Amino acid sequence: MNENIIYSIILFFVGIFGLFRAIKFLRNPKFAREYIEKSPKAKIWKKMFGVDKATKITRNIFVPLAIIMCVGAIIAAIILIII
């Protein structure tokens, strides 16, 4: 019982943190561009599409997916607390 509460609290805060970062990425184009330029995870995307196109693809496809996943994590954490 206590383990479920601990896991749900961790899951809830991970979801909140990810949601905050995704929204910041969408709202602040300067942050988005700097992230794409400096992130080693975006290296392949930069090489294939360039920084501008990789930023556009990330903002249009990956960030909305991240928002859906973060909201799902928050809902899962709430369900774990209720059960």
Total domain count for the chain? 1
Whole-angstrom Cα distance, residue 57 to residue 25? 12
Give the pLDDT of residue 3: 83
Whole-angstrom Cα distance, residue 8 to residue 2? 10
Enclosing domain of residue 64: 2-82
Give the pLDDT of residue 1: 65
Instruction: Enter the DSSP assignment of 41.
Output: G
Backbone dihedral angles phi then psi of residue 50, each to the nearest 5 degrees: 90, 165
pTM value surpassing 0.75: yes
SS3 28: coil
From first to last of the 83 residues of the chain, give the pLDDT tens digit: 678 889 999 999 999 999 999 999 999 999 999 999 998 988 899 999 999 999 999 999 999 999 999 999 999 999 988 87
